[in-house]
Amino acid sequence: MEILDGKALSDKIKTDLKTQSETLKKKGVVPALAVILVGDDPASQTYVNTKEKACNAVGITSIMHRVCSSTSEEEVLKIIDSLNKNPEVDGILVQLPLPKHIDTSKVIEAISPDKDVDGFHPFNVGRLVAGMDGFVPCTPFGVMKLLEAYGINVRGMDACVIGASNIVGKPMMNLLLNASATVEVCRSSTKNLKEHTLRADLIVVGVGKINLLTSDMVKEGAIVVDVGINRNEEGKIVGDVDFANVAPKCSYITPVPGGVGPMTIAMLLTNTIKSASRRQK
């Protein structure tokens, strides 16, 4: 069993991105990421602070827009419009979830596809489905980079994705399909989930349910990627996989924390530098 160390790989990627950022600055382009945070949700604040620190570490200017939870949808759309029109902004990220009075789909569609570094705009979703170049959602993008770094070629593998969200499950499915894997998409509510996972050479799980994937659901030598982020009763961060019991059966497995999480941030920075490079050209 080998650990897929997302922390170590993300540090290497960030070192490379810092060099790219410095090169862009010498050519007159300062990479910039704008983040909009609506409200004071503690988890969202933590994520935004982490992203801000990561930007600073690689030389990306971080432009913060923190507004109160009662801010209207119209005001949020106005902020996005101004950032779309600002030629010195390369990426726009709206921290999710948004308050209930704001239409998330409308907000995502308001972001210019050229600055959609989260990869959520329908334009970029369509390009991903078609196997064309575009911005890819950061978490599944990070999973693919992590597998690639360890020399894991998914071509011909039976892959099982547990979770069908627009942020992880669906783009994960498309990335694996584009890489010539055979993909099955399940949910935590799938009937006889174990029957599906036992067939899989690769399992990617991200539904937010502690110990959803147990050792009896995984065949010997499988690769397990845990995208889940949960807090257990002791307040410890854990994933969706019963790591202690599943890991001994795996050829590769990601830890939580230190697996997919750091890669998500690294891919956000990667997408921002990609956008800045387009601006320079």
- Residues involved in catalysis: 51, 95, 118
Calpha distance 169→269 (Å, rounded): 21
Inter-axis angle of helices 42-58 and 260-280, nearest 10: 50
Inter-axis angle of helices 6-26 and 260-280, nearest 10: 20
How is residue 39 written in tokens?
């409200």
**Cβ–Cβ under 8 Å, residues 63 and 35:** yes
Residue recorded with tokens 């759309």: 77
- Tell me how far the alpha carbon of residue 160 is from its chain's centroid: 18
Calpha distance 140→264 (Å, rounded): 8
Inter-axis angle of helices 138-149 and 260-280, nearest 10: 100
| Other C-beta atoms lying within 10 Å of the C-beta of residue 224 | 28
**Cβ–Cβ under 8 Å, residues 172 and 226:** no
| Other C-beta atoms lying within 10 Å of the C-beta of residue 8 | 13
DSSP class of 175: H
**Cβ–Cβ under 8 Å, residues 271 and 113:** no
Calpha distance 100→39 (Å, rounded): 11
